[in-house]
């Protein structure tokens, strides 16, 4: 064994790689519950790839055969139902783990320097995952698959001048059709998974270069012992691999298996009722809605109607006023802020509300890229921040969850209290964006606590 | 072709607009308490399904012998009592899919639409909907002579009226002026009492729920074994965690 390893090591940096990424990668010793979700996301990625390979063996990307081939998997393939449910439930669990992983980053300031690029790669992974899920949802060729794809692709129509051509180019046809199904299959099983795997690898390379953040937001590399090892670090392997993450994986698998075996459609939240009807070009489902992981963004899209325009205008104005106030007389900055606000307000009256819906939905994702530079707080972790950031983060999470709920409901029904769903969605859309756009100001006002030298328990 | 499309849309439109109001068309769904472990009920449901439903509807993702295996019906019994519909070779094979005898052309001529495939109907509609729907047909003056308060203007006639009897529906005017369903009246009793008929439809619903997902019969039990296995793993991974972290403070 030793001989074999040295034979390999002369030809490939085996020991070096193992030590760099595992046995001599020092991770902070104070990781808590929230630090399980990174490794869990990798576990789900593996589950999705393995079950996906087996599904591909029986699935047929053809509008005449797709629905029947999924039913064939569910009924006639040995344990096909299990593989399919693992994959469909896995998709939802992928988003659960990724959302919790991102929330962890928001709480402990993991996006702050020197981890800006790590965060940006993560956001790209998140967007790639959304593309992967969206295209995968078309494949069963159920009625909701069909109409969901139809509605989301038609959003590109809203882009002025090139929109119509662009959406036709994406579909490969004037409506969602066999051409669309085939290309989505290609993207879902080859292109996007490859991108995802590479991005996850790059995400880990970036993580291991800068080192992990921790619940205290302290750089453990600043306190090294005489041997050059961080005093607050423990080797990733075995302390986190089989020491902690294995335990986390088993707990995760229990929750995941409970859903797979006892409620794989989760009352229509993980598998929608209308998707058990084959795609029918003549029969639109009563409510077209995406699966739960897209509904917060879908809510933003639907909330943007012409009555939101004046409020949006006021919102831009207030953000602009704050920016001018905090520019400390920097003329260049004041002029650029005024120009940007003027262009936005002109755009509000020049472009239809539908276009603004698409812009806001895209902005809700793209704003994540700027997070490292929006946060002006001297501390990273929520543990040492004041009440303003805590309140802002709480409101942000509440708005995200409630918009997720409202996105599954009809806009003109009343599922909360006092108002219909649409005004609520509009209100929470503003809260969502306020979290980001006012961040440079409220993080400055916030009173922070002194950060200790060493990590705490 | 266009005529058929328009007819389908007109048939479906009221269903779509009404679906938003009440859980079962014009009325609230009745609750059916099905039991997938009741094999006798599943078998009675299968008999009813093959004898009546399969004349017009298909269950084209389901095989006869898969059903037989799950419900304890042998291939011979299937051939003897359920093998009415020959395959393309003119024979009946217990491994064939449960396809209807009625071709799409004939169906369109008869109903102006092709009856939907019922393999997954319990998953798209739900058990309560099916149970309520099958008990809510009534006589009226539409071309087919039948209507249904759960699915107004549905093309399907009451196939089981001989069992249930013939009902008429009484409507009342709601305070806002809309027509609202009030109650059914039995015009001519069938061969079954209402209680027997309800139990009959419960069997059918039970079978349709089974057919929507045959794996349902095994997945709950398999889940228990998986959980037990994971529980053992949980114990050992927890012990490992405790052991590794005992020196780290």
Please give the full DSSP string across A272-295, using - where no structure is assigned. Answer: -GGGGSB--TT---SS----GGGH
B120/A71 CB distance under 8 A: yes
Residue range B115-120: mean pLDDT, rounded: 95
Q: What is the pLDDT of residue B9?
A: 47
Q: pLDDT at residue B18 above 60?
A: no
Distance from CA of A252 to the nearest CA of B (A): 10
The residue from A259, A285, A311 where one domain ends is: A285
The model's pTM is 0.92
Q: Do the domain assignments include residue A82? A: yes
Residues A87, A119: one domain?
yes
Q: What are B13's two structure tokens?
A: 């439109």
The three-state secondary structure class of A257 is helix
Q: State whether A75 and B233 contact (CB < 8 Å).
A: no
Whether A135 is in a domain gets the answer yes
Flag if A282 and B5 touch (Cβ within 8 Å): yes
pLDDT at site A90: 98
Distance in Å, alpha carbon of A347 to nearest chain B alpha carbon: 37
Dist CA A91 CA A69 (whole Å): 20
Kindly list the residues from chain B whose CB atom is less than 8 angstroms away from the CB atom of residue A261: 219-220, 222-223, 226-227
Tokens of A184: 């989505």
Each residue's pLDDT tens digit, B29-72: 999 999 999 999 999 999 999 999 999 999 999 999 999 999 99
User: Is there a single domain that holds both residue A349 and residue A307?
Assistant: yes
On whether residue A453 sits in a domain, the answer given is no
- Is B171 near chain A, with CB under 8 Å? no
With CB atoms and an 8 Å threshold, state whether B240 touches A246.
yes
B55 and B102 in contact (C-beta within 8 Å)?
A: yes
Chains A and B: how many Cβ contacts under 8 Å? 99
Residue from the list B223, B230, B248 with its beta carbon closest to the beta carbon of A250: B230
Which comes out higher in pLDDT, residue A50 or A417?
A50
Question: Is B13 part of the contact surface with chain A (CB cutoff 8 Å)?
Answer: no
A27 interfacial to chain B (CB closer than 8 Å): no
**Please, are residues B137 and B161 in contact by the beta-carbon 8 Å criterion?**
yes
Q: Are residues A235 and A263 in the same domain?
A: yes
Q: How many CB atoms lie within 10 A of CB A96?
A: 19
Residues forming a β-bridge with B146: B139
- Asked if residue A456 belongs to a domain, the reply is no
Second-level CATH architecture of B2-214? Orthogonal Bundle (1.10)
Based on the domain organization, do A250 and A375 belong to the same domain? Answer: no
Looking at the fold, whether A229 and A294 belong to one and the same domain comes out as no
CB contacts of A260 in chain B (<8 Å) are 223
> In the predicted model, what is the mean pLDDT of residues A270-278?
93
Confidence at A413, pLDDT banded by 50, 70, 90: confident
Residue A393 domain boundaries? 289-447
Give chain B's end-to-end CA distance (angstroms, integer): 77
Report how far apart, in Å, the C-alpha atoms of B44 and of each of A55, B72, B73, B215 are.
34, 12, 11, 20
Same domain (yes/no): A127, A222: yes
Are A247 and B245 within 8 A, CB to CB?
Answer: no
Q: What is the pLDDT of residue B176?
A: 82
User: Helix, strand or coil for residue B34?
Assistant: coil
pLDDT at residue A344, as a whole number: 95
Whole-angstrom Cα distance, residue A122 to residue A12? 29
Residue finishing a domain among A285, A316, A346: A285
What is the pLDDT at residue B12? 44
* Selection from B231, A217, B59, B69 nearest residue B78 by Cα: B69
Q: Cα distance from A334 to chain B (closest Cα, Å)?
A: 51
For A78, the closest chain B residue by CA position comes to B215
| Whether residues A172 and A203 fall in one domain | yes
| pLDDT tens by residue, B205-232 | 999 999 999 999 999 999 999 999 999 9
B166 DSSP β-pair partners:
B188
In a domain, A86, yes or no: yes
CA distance A407 to B95: 44
Contact between chains at B212 and A251 (C-beta distance less than 8 A): no
Contact A149, A220 (CB under 8 A): no
| Residues A194 and A306 placed together within one structural domain of the fold | no
Q: Read out DSSP for A157-220?
A: GGSTTTHHHHHHHHHTSSSS-HHHHHHHHHIIIIIHHHHHHHHHHHHHHHHHHH----TT---G
**Cα–Cα distance, A62 to A53 (Å, whole number):** 18
Is B244 in the A-facing interface, judged by CB distances under 8 Å? yes
Asked if A281 and A309 sit in the same domain, the reply is no
- SS3 of residue A24 by DSSP: coil
Of residues B112, B31, B159, B123, the one with CA closest to residue A143: B123
- B window 191-230, beta carbon within 8 A of A: 212-215, 219-220, 222-223, 226-227, 230
Using a CB-CB cut-off of 8 Å, the residues of chain B touching A284 are 16
Q: Does A215 share its domain with A249?
A: yes
CA angle B118, B121, B125 (to 5 degrees): 155
Is A133 a domain residue? yes
Count other C-beta atoms under 10 Å from residue A452's C-beta.
11
Residue A83 lies in a domain: yes
User: So what's the pLDDT on residue A287?
Assistant: 85
Contact: B238, A247; criterion CB under 8 Å:
yes
Chain centroid offset of residue A313 CA: 28
A238, A259, A285: which is the final residue of a domain? Answer: A285
- A358 pLDDT exceeds 90? yes
What is the domain count for chain A? 2
Residue B10: what pLDDT? 46
CATH code, domain carrying A319: 1.20.810.10
Cβ pair B241:A244 closer than 8 A: yes
Please tell me the total number of residues recorded for chain B in this structure: 249
Residues 6+ apart with CB under 8 A from A188: A132, A135, A136, A139
Does the residue A220 lie in any domain?
Answer: yes
Cβ neighbours of A297 (radius 10 Å)? 21
Residues A168 and A298 in one domain: no
Question: Which helix H or strand E contains B210, and what residues bound it?
Answer: helix B194-212
Contact B223 A247 (CB under 8 A): no
Give the best residue of A261, A285, A286 to mutate against chain B (max B CB count within 10 A): A261
A347 and A421, same domain (yes or no): yes
pLDDT digits (tens, 9 = 90+) for A242-254: 999 999 999 999 9
């Amino acid at each position: 064994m030793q001989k074999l390893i040295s034979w390999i090591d002369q030809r490939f940096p085996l020991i070096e790689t193992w030590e760099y990424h595992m046995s001599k990668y020092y991770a902070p010793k104070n990781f808590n519950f929230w630090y399980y979700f990174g490794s869990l996301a990798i576990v789900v990625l593996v589950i999705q790839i393995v079950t996906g390979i087996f599904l591909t063996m029986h699935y047929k990307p053809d509008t005449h055969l797709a629905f029947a081939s999924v039913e064939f998997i569910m009924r006639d393939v040995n344990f096909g139902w299990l593989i399919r449910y693992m994959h469909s439930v896995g998709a939802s669990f992928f988003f659960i783990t990724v959302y919790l992983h991102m929330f962890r980053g928001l709480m402990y300031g993991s996006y702050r320097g020197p981890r800006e690029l790590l965060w940006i790669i993560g956001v790209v992974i998140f967007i790639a995952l959304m593309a992967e899920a969206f295209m995968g949802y078309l494949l069963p060729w159920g009625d909701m698959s069909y109409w969901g794809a139809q509605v989301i692709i038609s959003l590109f129509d809203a882009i002025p001048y090139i929109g119509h051509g662009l959406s036709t180019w994406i579909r490969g046809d004037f409506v969602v059709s066999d051409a669309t199904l085939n290309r989505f299959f290609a993207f879902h099983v080859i292109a996007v998974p490859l991108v995802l795997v590479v991005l996850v690898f790059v995400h880990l390379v970036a993580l291991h270069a800068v080192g992990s953040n921790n619940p205290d937001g302290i750089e453990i590399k600043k306190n090294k012992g005489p041997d050059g090892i961080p005093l607050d670090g423990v080797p990733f392997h075995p302390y986190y691999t089989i020491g902690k993450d294995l335990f986390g994986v088993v707990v995760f698998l229990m929750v995941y298996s409970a859903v797979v075996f006892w409620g794989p459609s989760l009352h229509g939240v993980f598998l929608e009722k209308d998707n058990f009807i084959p795609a029918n070009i003549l029969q639109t489902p009563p409510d077209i809605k995406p699966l739960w992981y897209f509904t917060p963004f879908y809510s933003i899209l639907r909330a943007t109607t012409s009555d939101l325009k004046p409020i949006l205008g006021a919102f831009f104005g207030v953000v602009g006023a704050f920016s001018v106030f905090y520019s400390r007389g920097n003329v260049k900055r004041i002029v650029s802020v005024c120009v940007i606000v003027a262009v936005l307000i002109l755009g509000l009256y020049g472009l239809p509300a539908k276009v603004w819906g698409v812009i806001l939905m895209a902005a809700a994702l793209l704003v994540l890229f700027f997070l490292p530079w929006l946060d002006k707080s001297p501390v990273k972790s929520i543990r040492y921040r004041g009440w303003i950031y805590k309140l802002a983060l709480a409101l942000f999470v509440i708005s995200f969850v409630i918009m997720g709920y409202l996105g599954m409901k009809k806009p003109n029904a009343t599922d909360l209290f006092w108002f219909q769903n649409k005004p609520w969605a509009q209100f929470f859309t503003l809260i969502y964006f306020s979290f980001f756009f006012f961040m440079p100001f409220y993080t400055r006002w916030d009173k922070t606590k002194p950060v200790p030298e060493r990590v705490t328990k | 072709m266009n005529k058929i499309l328009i007819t389908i849309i007109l048939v479906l439109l009221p269903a779509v607009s009404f679906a938003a109001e009440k859980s079962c068309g014009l009325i609230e769904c009745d609750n059916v308490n099905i039991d997938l472990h009741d094999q006798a009920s599943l078998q009675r449901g299968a008999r009813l399904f093959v004898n009546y439903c399969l004349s017009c509807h298909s269950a084209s993702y389901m095989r006869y012998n898969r059903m037989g295996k799950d419900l304890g019906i042998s291939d011979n019994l299937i051939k003897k009592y359920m093998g009415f519909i020959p395959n393309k070779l003119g024979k009946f094979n217990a491994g064939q899919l449960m396809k209807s005898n009625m071709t799409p052309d004939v169906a369109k001529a008869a109903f102006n639409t092709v009856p939907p495939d019922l393999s997954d109907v319990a998953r798209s509609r739900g058990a309560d909907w099916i149970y309520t729907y099958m008990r809510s047909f009534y006589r009226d003056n539409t071309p087919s002579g039948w209507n249904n308060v759960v699915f107004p203007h549905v093309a399907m006639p009451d196939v089981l009226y001989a069992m249930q009897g013939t009902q008429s529906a009484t409507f009342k005017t709601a305070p806002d002026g809309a027509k609202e369903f009030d109650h059914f009246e039995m015009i001519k009793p069938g061969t079954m009492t209402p209680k027997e008929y309800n139990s009959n439809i419960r069997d059918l619903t039970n079978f349709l729920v089974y057919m929507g997902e045959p794996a349902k019969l095994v997945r709950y039990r398999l889940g228990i074994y998986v959980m037990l296995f994971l529980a053992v793993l949980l114990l050992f991974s927890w012990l490992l965690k405790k052991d590794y972290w005992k020196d780290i403070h």
